[in-house]
Structure 1
Amino acid sequence: MTTGRRRWSTDEILDAAADLLRTGDAESFSVRKLAAVLGTDSSSLYRHFRSKTELLRAVADRVLLAAMDGYRPEGDWRARLTAVALRLRAAFGGQVQLAAVWGRYASSGEGARLVMEEVLSALDEAGLPDAAVPVHYHRLVVLVAALVSSEAGIGGLTPAEYDQGVELFRVAVLGADPGRFPALARHARDLSPLGADRQAAFEDILAAHLASVAAAIP
């Protein structure tokens, strides 16, 4: 007696895709690989998603949904935008490939709508002219996506890989020839590697951008 293949739900497919992306990258990810993990064939997955890109967007959107789960707007427009950015940072933290997927493919689901609505609403509250709101929205999202992807990449390193990177950074900086690199030699002992003090750097860069938004308010 033979039995049919199991029918996987959309949520189960997305869970499996997220797990696969945590151990690989978006370039090597394929619907065929995902189907093999689930013990089914690609055609059964294409009943849920029309393409690999649509599937990846859905995976990214689930992270956005998780980031906005339980969110309530509090404080002024700066506080609201900062809170959303920090929630996205936390949601993608350590998930290198999922952060890359969001940065590359974006998403078009409920999670994306929640983020967009809150960011646009906060920018409206700031008092920007209507024509300026989409411009500042786009700049802010590009900035946060870039910062989140960068942080996730560093967070994905093992302790040994990170320590090796720090040592290589010190060699490159402290070993620089002062004759060829005078500015580098002058500031060498005060420089920090990319992964150092990441949260403060994230918040400082975000605050500087929000200051530029404030400067644009009539």
Structure 2
Amino acid sequence: MGERVVPEPQRRRRRPTKQGTVLSAEAIVATALRLLGQHGSEALTVRRLGAALGADPSAIYRYFRNTDDLLLAITDELIAVAQQGWQATGDWQADLREIGRRIHRAYQLHPQTAMLAAYRTTGRAHEIGAVEVILGVLRDGGFPDAEAVRIYHAFVDQALAFAALDAAASALPPAARQADEGVWRETYARLPARSHPHIAATAPLLVAEMSTSGYPPALELLLEAAAARLARLRRPAG
């Protein structure tokens, strides 16, 4: 794609496309999300988008400079989905827990997109809003600025890393996913105690645990560590 974006007032298409869609940045992002879910990263082309929208592919240029610009808009839309309906409670741990769960859930709804988007930084409205909210939760919770930024970094990277990991797993073909899960039952659960005593002792727990996402317990560990740091900071010196 080229580097020519039409100014905002000139963008809106006056007549619907062949599919009955009034072309807009929002419609393009929604269609791109759907195509990515159906076909993976190969779907992110102006040709496929134009066909799905019933518009000339060159019309996409009116809204996005290139496919990377579009991907950043898609990423920002996932962030918007994660924030939708969230309300602060004033309890920083409860608020961060809910934000983390929402981020993870939003990306799992779009696993193919999550694998492309989880590591991107958009600098757009919804991402900026999310950064402001999370830092606010931490600073209002009593964390000094340096600690708030450090915990923000760990919290967001943890949520996005698990989002990408779990998205990649869920995007596997069903047979491959079932085979991976079966390894814990067919291989690990059958290892003898004489050679692998720790695996053998915990095998039933491993089989049950490793079929689920590691994000919920990881999130709790991070929150507990953050709470311990805050308690140390509040402890009187001496």
TM-score normalised by the shorter chain: which range applies? 0.7 to 0.9
Deviations 1:50-81 (A, max 9, x none): 12111011112112212212221113111111
Instruction: Provide TM-score, normalisation by structure 1.
Output: 0.82
- Per the TM alignment, residue 20 of structure 1 is displaced from its structure 2 partner at its CA by 0.9
**1:103 equivalenced with 2:147 (yes/no):** no
Deviations 1:126-146 (A, max 9, x none): 222212322221111000101
What is the aligned partner in structure 1 of residue 4 from structure 2?
none
Letter in 2 for 1:33: R
What is the aligned partner in structure 1 of residue 78 from structure 2?
63
What is the aligned partner in structure 2 of residue 142 from structure 1?
157
Alignment length (residue pairs) = 213
- Per the TM alignment, residue 99 of structure 1 is displaced from its structure 2 partner at its CA by 1.8
What is the aligned partner in structure 2 of residue 13 from structure 1?
28
What is the aligned partner in structure 1 of residue 228 from structure 2?
215
What is the aligned partner in structure 2 of residue 169 from structure 1?
184
Larger radius of gyration: 2
The one of 60, 66, 77 equivalent to 1:51 is: 66
Deviations 1:73-125 (A, max 9, x none): 11311111111111222222242122223313233322212211111001102
CA distance in 1, matches of 2:117, 2:149: 19
What is the aligned partner in structure 1 of residue 215 from structure 2?
202
Task: Give the unaligned 5+ runs of structure 2.
Answer: 1-14, 234-238
Using CA pairs below 8 Å that are at least 6 residues apart, which structure has the higher relative contact order?
1
Deviations 1:28-70 (A, max 9, x none): 6333332333343443212201121110111121122122122
- Per the TM alignment, residue 178 of structure 1 is displaced from its structure 2 partner at its CA by 5.5
Counting aligned pairs with the same residue, the percent is: 27
Instruction: Provide TM-score, normalisation by structure 2.
Output: 0.76
